[in-house]
Chain A
């Protein structure tokens, strides 16, 4: 407690344990007071994420050995600029999701009946923070488990037959991914005797079984991140969940397993995760961009379209990987910018879509004509989020794509630039198609019953994402405290 910086490591633990505690309290309090406790916890989680980002920006990377047990015996939490930015992403999306859920749960609304949303949601938030911060591959498995089970329960909480079916296949995919990852962890530990992420390189070096282990860990994470062709569970799960849940899943949850995959690739750069592995992942990412965009264009429902768009946007995160080794700083910045702007924009789209489906009674495109006039805030949010999907300035994804195109041309891998630019054109098609149907002249004149809910939470989210370039200096400063260069 002597100097102000001395408390910084403690913030990492608090960013995980405080929302977890709030979730448990919210559960214990039950229906009447669950929301109040959870909102307090959400406010604390936002403050803690901001504090971590501030201390990384001013004092550089932070680490905490839990219980003062030094790895490999103990578990270390570590925050560099990239983890801090992902914490901030979770905080911004989390705040919007919490506000939207609070607005939606007036007495009498069906959400009020689902009070378990609050403890489940705080558990999910705590677990993604845990995955962003952990420097231990087994602890990461526990976080993945916590994320998977809370997310599945949240999808199922809608209660409809479609939601239950989607939750079940989500559960199978999630458990299969986590088990594959865990078997990989077992092999790596057998060969190396350590679970510390930063000791992975020497472990994988020279051991064939550790290399198989690393492959299994990555395979599990690819399934969790829904990279093509392991995306099969995502469109149904993300499109049939309640809107706030879809927003959290597409905005933050897929990025959590992605971040761990990047950490693994970087930690094992020296051996095993060489150019071949990164090229394979990038090729899958390229197919994901094309396939996800095509399916988004072909879908007949707004939420399904947004979910397929996530499949495509996940592709961008992987397509940059071959450039990471050569240009770690630039591509690291691109990863942060893309993850942040897509996370916020996609959450805004799902929240807005929830509002639109509320007004129209369905999210089928053929029934949405004119709903944009009834729900201008939602339509505007969708439009602003579309700016990010297309990668137009001054959105964060514009900057990300700019950096990737530059790096890929400079290193002669022009195909990456082609995919990135082409993907933006495909996104334009599906975004304009959704907006066109919302803004079309209504085909029937009778007024729909007005509902008092408005997607107020979606608008700032979409606006921040579309103007993320303004936060460029702050993001660059945080990324300066990050090394993705490998060893």
Chain B
């Protein structure tokens, strides 16, 4: 009974956050609503018994994306404001009306399609559960992501690397540099003592991934968020990374995954067909390296975009 009330509130909150994120005039306010939406949907995923997605949604959907959006809004505000006004002016009313009608029609079609789908239609969940038990990976989500559909994940990892390359291409391949401000001593203390805990939690999430919710994506996102906080407080300056080393760190996850995919081919098995005795070890190793690369990616995306506007424009024709 109580839980039902909670669910109704959760749904209402989701809709409210989504609507206000769209209609708020103030960019900052609408980003805050977007982040709240992410946190509420993480809760919704928990209610739907999908803790893996909840962790990823909280870390990446609300956390990293929210930080990037806030940063972009900050850059826009630091300019003369013309960019934001430009964007405001360029949307004609007719386009808004047409867009609303199209979205409404799509929503109606989707709602009807969902409602007319029988809930007992066949799904792959049972096959995935059986398969996971057979190969000895207790967390079926990890078995799907790294084994049954490991090939999808391999390509998704490449998408992450692409995102960093895209940001670097926009900045003419310049290495990542960090904008920071003089840190408050109290904040420094807090962040400094938080860092080891973040590191421990990230390592635990990779280790836990094989048997319970967790894995490379959640762990990497957490670790990346930790690095972002450290960077913002100016605590990364002394350990600035060599560009070559940071590129290697970014690509290491994909390279490790590719190696794990190709080794079976060399041994006469199918692509990504791990040796049965090494399966757990290979998955753990790939996830560990992936987590490091994902952390570097998340941190790199944020720290690369948060250069001061003048530096960002330098070198642009």
Contacts and interface: CB of A to CB of B under 8 A. Distances in A.
Nearest to A12: B271
B45 to A, nearest CB: 16
Contacts, number: 176
B151 A67 contact: yes
Given A17-B271, A28-B247, A187-B113, A150 B317 contact: no
Chain A contact surface mostly: helix
B155 A130 contact: yes
A94 B172 CA distance: 24
A67 B150 contact: yes
Interface stretch (B21-29, B58-66, B261-269, B303-311): B261-269
Interface stretch (A189-197, A395-403, A408-416): A189-197
B121 A183 contact: no
A153 B159 CA distance: 12
A68 B147 CA distance: 10
A66 B271 contact: yes
A119 interface: yes
A460 to B, nearest CB: 29
B152 A138 contact: yes
For chain B, the bracket of interface size reads 35 or more
B247 A30 contact: yes
Interface in A12-28: 13-14, 17, 20-21, 23-25, 27-28
Interface in B98-147: 109-110, 112-114, 116-117, 121-124, 127-128, 131, 147
B159 A142 contact: yes
A127 interface: yes
Interface in A118-136: 119-120, 123, 126-127, 130
A66 B272 contact: yes
Given A67-B148, A116-B169, A146-B159, A30 B255 contact: no
B250 interface: yes
Contact of B270 (A10, A115, A116, A142): A10
A1 B166 CA distance: 40
A454 to B, nearest CB: 25
A120 B165 contact: yes
Given A13-B271, A67-B271, A75-B151, A191 B124 contact: no
Given A66-B271, A153-B169, A156-B169, A24 B251 contact: yes
A193 B121 CA distance: 7
A114 B173 contact: yes
B159 A209 contact: no
B172 A113 contact: yes
A213 B128 contact: no
A454 B178 CA distance: 42
Interface in A360-394: none
Interface residues of A, number: 63
Contacts of A143: 155
Contacts of B109: 212
Contact of A187 (B117, B122, B251, B273): B117
Contacts of B244: 30
A116 B161 CA distance: 12
For B149, B172, B248, B268, the residue with the greatest tally of chain A CB atoms inside 10 Å of its CB is B149
Nearest to B166: A153
B169 A157 contact: yes
Contacts of A67: 147-148, 150-151, 270-274
A9 interface: yes
Nearest to B266: A10
B152 A139 contact: yes
A14 B128 CA distance: 26
Interface string A20-50: 1101110110110000000000000000000
Contacts of A23: 158
A229 B148 CA distance: 39
Nearest to B131: A73
B138 to A, nearest CB: 18
A105 to B, nearest CB: 13
A212 B122 contact: no
B229 interface: no
For B159, B271, B273, the residue with the greatest tally of chain A CB atoms inside 10 Å of its CB is B271
B162 A193 contact: no
A157 B110 CA distance: 37
A64 B317 CA distance: 48
Interface string A167-201: 00000000000000001000100111110000000
A153 B165 contact: yes
Contacts of A115: 173
Contact of A192 (B114, B116, B122, B255): B122
Given A20-B258, A25-B255, A14 B265 contact: yes
Interface in B204-249: 243-244, 247-248
Contacts of B7: none
B183 interface: no
A68 B243 contact: no
Contacts of A142: 152, 155-156, 159
Given A24-B161, A150-B162, A190 B149 contact: no
A25 B271 CA distance: 20
A214 to B, nearest CB: 11
Contacts of A127: 155, 158
B95 to A, nearest CB: 13
Given A73-B127, A73-B128, A159-B172, 13 more contacts: A14-B265, A65-B270, A67-B271, A67-B272, A68-B269, A72-B127, A138-B149, A143-B155, A156-B170, A159-B316, A187-B110, A191-B117, A213-B113
19 contacts: A10-B265, A10-B270, A17-B154, A17-B271, A20-B158, A27-B165, A28-B248, A28-B255, A66-B271, A67-B150, A68-B273, A73-B127, A73-B128, A113-B172, A119-B165, A146-B162, A187-B113, A209-B112, A209-B116
Interface of B: 109-110, 112-114, 116-117, 121-124, 127-128, 131, 147-152, 154-156, 158-159, 161-163, 165-166, 168-170, 172-173, 243-244, 247-248, 250-251, 254-255, 258, 261-262, 265, 268-274, 316-317
Give the 8 A-B CB pairs with smallest separation, nearest first.
A193-B122, A13-B271, A209-B113, A153-B166, A67-B272, A28-B251, A157-B169, A212-B113
